[in-house]
Amino acid sequence: MEPDARRPHWKTLLAFAIIYFVWGSTFLAIRIGVHELPPLLFAAMRFLAAGIVLFIWVTAHGEGIPTRRQWASIFLLAFLIFVIDYGCLFWAEQRVPSGIAAVMMATIPLFTALSEILFLRTQRLTVRLVAALLIGLCGVAVLVVRSFNIGGQPIQPIGALALIAGSLSWSVASILTRKLPLPASKIMSSGSQMLAGGILLTAAAAAFGEFRGFDPLKVSAGAWFALLYLVVAGSIIGFTAYLWLLHHESPTKVGTYAYVNPVVAVLIGYLIGGEALGLRTILGTLFVLISVVVITTTRAKKPAPASEAKV
């Protein structure tokens, strides 16, 4: 889509700043919260609150409520995206620095491309893609493998496995989104998925016993502020800015958040969160980002479905 010359330039800059910097900063906010709140319960609070707000807002503006068939698709995607992907991310950030977690989650396009090549046969294996996939996998190896003597501590294997599992789950959801019946409205689709994800995460938190012994009065103001930031800035404002950009800018340009967010997350983790920024982190981040840039520019230039957008 061609940019509208009559639109104030500051609106576009503000929207890009939101999806770049707000979404990039959410990883540190998650880390702050999960050190005091149980991870699945913390994730449930975030997405249940944001999902309720978005769902009420979009229905109040005349969007039709999803059909029974669409709700089945919504809950399946919500399980893959929110319970597995975000559940793994929130759980892993108890053990993995927020910047590294963001870099690991940036491998989603890598796993999506692999799935399209190996299982769906919707993408052809080219020399360019092979090189991009190998570079991305090297980046993950740099962050995880202890035998690489390049300074800095590798991340915990269990945390790395959780993040890879989350990335794989999101890539599967990304592919299913193109085939499942979903509401035509992206904001209704996303809001209902967030709402369903919050419900499923609440059930998962209960199943894992996270409500036992949880005392809200013992949680610091900083952790509650992190939750408020994730709900309002990360989910509601961030996703609204993303949808606005999709209507006013090219999908390729909007999609640059996929490789800007990890850089922002690493820098914020270092500057504000006190996380290490050594050669291992720099090389791993660089390899993953090169891979993501090549893969995302190789894939068809069309708007991402709602479940491919970070929320």
How confident is the model over 40-73, as pLDDT tens digits?
A: 999 999 999 999 999 999 999 888 899 999 999 9
- On average, the pLDDT of the chain sits at 89
Task: Decide if pLDDT at 5 tops 60.
Answer: no
Domain ranges in the chain are 9-211+227-308
Q: Which amino acid is at 118?
A: L
Count Cα neighbours of 281 within 13 Å in the Cβ-side half-sphere: 21
- What was the pLDDT predicted at 212? 93
98 or 174: which carries more pLDDT confidence?
A: 98
- Minimum mean pLDDT among 117-126, 205-214, 295-304: which range? 295-304
Strands (E) across the chain are located at none
265 or 11: which carries more pLDDT confidence?
A: 265
Tell me how far apart the alpha carbons of residues 52 and 162 are, in angstroms, rounded to a whole number: 28
* C-beta of residue 169 within 8 angstroms of C-beta of residue 84: yes
Which phi-psi region, left, alpha or beta, contains residue 309 (left: φ > 0; alpha: ψ -120 to 50)?
beta
What one-character DSSP code corresponds to residue 256? T
Helix, coil or strand: residue 176: helix
Pull the structure tokens for residue 213. Answer: 């012994």
What one-character DSSP code corresponds to residue 181? -
Task: Decide if pLDDT at 77 tops 90.
Answer: yes
Q: Mean pLDDT over residues 213-237, rounded?
A: 95
Q: What is the largest CA-CA distance in the chain?
A: 58
- What was the pLDDT predicted at 102? 95
Task: Decide if pLDDT at 36 tops 70.
Answer: yes
φ and ψ of 183, to 5 deg: -55, 145
pLDDT band at 113 (very low <50, low <70, confident <90, very high): confident
What one-character DSSP code corresponds to residue 278? -
Who's near 189: CB < 8 A, 6+ residues apart?
74, 182, 183, 305, 306, 307
The end-to-end CA distance of the chain, in Å, is 23
Q: Which amino acid is at 166?
A: G
How many CB atoms are closer than 10 A to CB 226? Answer: 25
- What was the pLDDT predicted at 124? 79
- What was the pLDDT predicted at 123? 74
Single out the residue of 97, 81, 90, 104 nearest to residue 43, CA to CA. 90
% of the chain surpassing 90 pLDDT: 65
- What was the pLDDT predicted at 306? 55
Angle between helix 221-229 and helix 23-34 axes, rounded to 10 deg: 150
Who's near 103: CB < 8 A, 6+ residues apart?
139, 143, 262, 265, 266, 281, 284, 285, 288, 289
Pull the structure tokens for residue 209. Answer: 């016993």
- What was the pLDDT predicted at 304? 57
Tell me how far apart the alpha carbons of residues 32 and 26 are, in angstroms, rounded to a whole number: 10
Handedness of CA 131, 251, 72, 207 (dihedral sign): positive
CA distances from 241 to 236, 246, 301 (A): 9, 9, 20
Task: Decide if pLDDT at 91 tops 90.
Answer: yes
Q: Mean pLDDT over residues 211-233, rounded?
A: 95
Each as own residue / partner, the long-range contacts of residues 53-59 (CB below 8 Å, 24 or more positions apart, any chain) are 53/231, 53/236, 54/187, 54/190, 54/191, 54/194, 54/195, 54/235, 54/236, 54/239, 55/188, 55/191, 55/192, 55/194, 55/195, 57/191, 58/185, 58/187, 58/188, 58/191, 59/188
What one-character DSSP code corresponds to residue 125? -
* C-beta of residue 93 within 8 angstroms of C-beta of residue 30: yes
pLDDT band at 309 (very low <50, low <70, confident <90, very high): low
272 or 179: which carries more pLDDT confidence?
A: 272
Q: pTM for this one? A: 0.91
